Amino acid sequence: MRRAWHAELAWLPGAGVLPDVLIEASGDRFTTITPGCVPAPASATRLTGLTLPSLANAHSHAFHRALRGAGQRGRGSFWTWREQMYQVAAGLDPDSYLALARAVYAEMALAGIGCVGEFHYLHHGPGGVPYADQNAMGQALVQAAEEAGIRVTLLDTCYLSGGLDLTGASLALDGPQLRFGDVTADSWAKRVDQFGADEHGMLGPAARLGAAIHSVRAVPPEQMHPVAAWAKRTGAPLHVHLSEQVAENEACLAAYRCTPAAVLYNAGVLGPRTTVVHATHPTEADMQLLGGSEVFVSACPTTEADLADGIGPFGALAEAGCRLTVGSDSQAVIDLFEETRRIEQYQRLASHQRGTFGAEALGYAMTWDGHASLGWPDAGEIASGSLADLVTVSLSSARLAGAVEAAGAGGLRGVGGSADGEADLGLLEAVIFAATAADVRNVVIGGRDVVIGGRHVLIDDVPGALTAAVRSLFAAE
């Protein structure tokens, strides 16, 4: 099916923000992109505001969304929050996870997210007893994304031990953690092979299978290689939590006499298809290993702030050669504009300097690089041949009113090109630094409308679906 949209303003790769862009697609791919198309063809759908490629949420744990409203009590740390998170995990089964994840992914669609990387480790039933279909929980997540209309990369996670204590000893899985475990990496690989992905790693037209190693806390080094080998053999993206907490670094040093990044490097985990999540506390040498390996770094700044993790050295990581992406992780909020601006703002707080990252670099982190890190290198750009995914952000809310006028002030930052011929990015800056998820009006994924006028096309009442899913989970306790 052929479709056409006429964007009032659109961000195009390398060209900045341009007016009156005719965007045409055949099936799920863009065919031609024509800026300055006036008047608009009558057959084209008008998109009012700034149109971007759809956003990629590179790191998500869908079930953590149920903690919103229950996760901010009293003092504590990452480790006390983790106990609350385990209680939610204990109450889920494939049916209730399908309902919860479908609602969470619908919330993501409303926020302009076209693709989610689901870092999935809640594999088995209570006590670690496998379901009849050992991938029932993962299948529920794939179905949830399909029903919410978004792409998913299911990052099936190898999780074998309950952590390292401060002497470096490996702890057995315990309580709700038993549901995460596969005993060995080989049994993890056997289970994952039963998903039935095709030779390209696809689970469906909009679902891809990927791999994850939970962390150095949960997978001993000798068990990492089979996971990395599986990812290499299948061409799958490989994700891993890295140095989120100082305590993780300390325990890793005690156990293995090297940092978590060095453990991953020595186990053959790092490479251009690898994403390390957080990288809050790397050493200088770690950053050289990560950059030299050309890994992606998934920053999750709202979660890192919420869990008191610390401020990641994102500027230095990018300087070393890493490509940044963003993730909603614990779902403290689902708003990738918020995640993205915090990357730059935290560098300012830590360095007392503005302007580590410009709008274009931040824009690529939340779109093209995010998609690439999830195994969709042909998504995240409004360009001929790319997957036909669009997000339109209203510029008429109280938050963004006046941005068009300011961006064009004095002819220096005129829409469609600045006075000195450089690509104009003023409105992209305005959206990254001031928009919220609530400003998203339209979302197109694979050429298909998923959100129109701020309403989800496939799930009529997203707040109602979230309320019902969370209510049933807490009622079951």
Distances (CA, A) of 234 to 205, 237, 239: 17, 9, 14
Please report how close the Cβ of residue 163 comes to Zn ion at its closest, in angstroms: 15
- Can residue 329 be called a binding residue for Zn ion (CB under 5 A)? yes
| Total site size for Zn ion, rule CB under 5 A | 1
- Nearest approach, Cβ of 278 to Zn ion (angstroms)? 7
Q: Establish if 335 lies at the interface with Zn ion (CB under 5 A).
A: no
Helix (H, G, I), strand (E, B) or coil at 207: strand
Please, which residue, 6 or 61, has the CB nearer to Zn ion? 61
Are 265 and 293 in contact by the 8 Å Cβ rule? The answer is: yes
CA–CA gap between residue 197 and residue 25 (Å, rounded)? 27
Paired tokens of 284? 């200088």
Q: Which stretch binds Zn ion (CB under 5 A): 219-227, 326-334, 353-361, 366-374?
A: 326-334
User: Which DSSP symbol is given to 52?
Assistant: E
Q: Which amino acid is at 227?
A: V
Report d(CA 133, CA 192) in Å as an integer.
Answer: 11
Instruction: Tell me whether residue 62 or residue 144 sits nearer to Zn ion (CB atom).
Output: 62
Token pair of 272 as six digits: 């251009």
What's the closest the beta carbon of residue 244 comes to Zn ion, in angstroms? 8
Three-state SS at 236: coil
Q: Please, which residue, 8 or 329, has the CB nearer to Zn ion?
A: 329
At CA 322, angle to CA 205 and CA 385, rounded to 5?
Answer: 35
* Residue 155, H or E segment: strand 151-158
Q: 57 near 116, Cβ under 8 Å?
A: yes
Q: Which CB, 329 or 439, lies closer to Zn ion? A: 329
- By beta-carbon proximity to Zn ion, the closer residue of 135 and 280 is 280
Q: Which stretch binds Zn ion (CB under 5 A): 23-31, 323-331, 346-354, 453-461?
A: 323-331
C-beta of 268: minimal distance to Zn ion in Å?
22
Judged by CB under 5 A, which stretch of 184-192, 318-326, 328-336, 439-447 contacts Zn ion?
328-336
Question: Which one of the spans 4-12, 130-138, 258-266, 329-337 is the region binding Zn ion (CB under 5 A)?
Answer: 329-337
Q: Does 248 bind Zn ion (CB under 5 A)?
A: no
Beta-strand relationship, 448-452 and 455-456: antiparallel
User: What span, in angstroms and rounded, lies between the C-alpha atoms of 15 and 191?
Assistant: 46
CB closer to Zn ion out of 107 and 329: 329
Asked whether the beta carbons of 112 and 435 are under 8 A apart, the reply is no
Closer to Zn ion by Cβ: residue 146 or 329: 329
Q: Of 87-146, which residues contact Zn ion (CB under 5 A)?
A: none
**Residue 259 and residue 249 in contact, taking contact as beta carbons nearer than 8 Å:** yes
Task: Please work out, in degrees rounded to the nearest 5, the angle formed at the alpha carbon of residue 65 by the alpha carbons of 399 and 149.
Answer: 75
- Closest CB 115 distance from Zn ion, rounded Å: 17
Q: Which is nearer to Zn ion, 329 or 429 (CB)?
A: 329
Query: 425 burial class (0-12, 13-18, 19+ CB within 10 angstroms)?
Result: buried
Q: How far is the CB of 62 from Zn ion (least distance, A)?
A: 11
Nearest approach, Cβ of residue 302 and Zn ion (Å): 12
Residue 475 CB, shortest distance to Zn ion, in Å, is 27
Q: Which is nearer to Zn ion, 329 or 335 (CB)?
A: 329
CB of 121 to Zn ion, least distance (A): 9
Shortest CB 59 distance to Zn ion, Å: 6
- Interacting positions 359-398 with Zn ion (CB under 5 A): none
Q: Which stretch binds Zn ion (CB under 5 A): 145-153, 232-240, 322-330, 448-456?
A: 322-330
CA atoms of 389 and 5, how far apart (whole Å):
12
Tell me whether residue 298 or residue 442 sits nearer to Zn ion (CB atom): 298
DSSP β-bridge partners for residue 297: 276, 324
> Which residue is closest to Zn ion by CB?
329
- If you search the block for the tokens 């993205």, which residue do you land on? 340
Choose between 329 and 369: whose C-beta lies nearer to Zn ion.
Answer: 329
Please report, in angstroms and rounded to a whole number, the separation of the first and last CA atoms in the chain. Answer: 48
Note whether 408 and 186 are within 8 A (CB). Answer: no
Q: Find the shortest distance in angstroms from Cβ 64 to Zn ion.
A: 8
Q: Which residues bind Zn ion (CB under 5 A)?
A: 329
